[in-house]
Amino acid sequence: MSIDRLAEALLLESKKESEQIVSKAKKEANSFISAAHEEEKELLEKAEITVKDKLESQKKERLAWANLERKRILSDAREHAVTSYLDSMQSNLYKLRTTSSYPNFMKKSFESAVDQLSGAIIFHVVKGDKKYLPTTKSSSITISEDLKASGGLLAESAFGKIIINYTLETIFETKRTVLRKEIFNALFGG
């Protein structure tokens, strides 16, 4: 064998070996590239899921806040409606004096005060309401038309130690909580 053939054989063998090494390196590189693409794809999918989850969470949070705000505004509006109605009722208490039941209310209030107080009693009524009180011959009862109210009466013992207040404003205020509930139920159904 000559050196040329030996060199040629060695060259051919080294060429095959280098082609195998290059082929193996290409396969490994393709495998690394493919793995990198898979990893990149997985990371992108995870990132997309994370972003979707965060967006969904923010959406739920904003919807919850908006719902709470809606409820607060609705509650405020209902409260305003009820308060306005009560205020309107209170400002129209004086109209009760023109109803057919007002004289009976005044008579019963007078009798109740007489039953509760003993001795000299001073009654204070709105000007013009004295006519609704029962006539009495008792010298211990004084009626004065000096009450500054929408209607009703105020009875006091001789020295003012005991006062019984049957004014329309006082009765209205004592029933305001119950009225508030009734008005709310009537307007908004409970």
Domain ranges of the chain: 1-91, 101-188
Q: Confidence class of residue 1 from pLDDT cuts 50, 70 and 90?
A: low
Residue with tokens 């057919």: 100
- Residue 7, pLDDT > 80, answer no
* pLDDT tens for each residue of 44-93: 888 888 989 899 999 999 999 999 999 999 999 999 999 998 999 888 88
Token pair belonging to 67: 């719902």
CA–CA distances in Å: residue 31 to residues 20, 22, 26, 40, 178: 16, 14, 8, 14, 81
The answer to whether domain 101-188 has CATH 3.40.50.720 is no
**Contact 32/24 with Cβ under 8 angstroms?**
no
pLDDT for the residue 61: 93
Q: What is the mean pLDDT of residues 151-158?
A: 93
Q: Confidence class of residue 103 from pLDDT cuts 50, 70 and 90?
A: very high
Q: Are strands 141-144 and 121-125 parallel, antiparallel or unpaired?
A: parallel
Q: What is the mean pLDDT of residues 19-48?
A: 85
Q: What is the mean pLDDT of residues 118-139?
A: 90
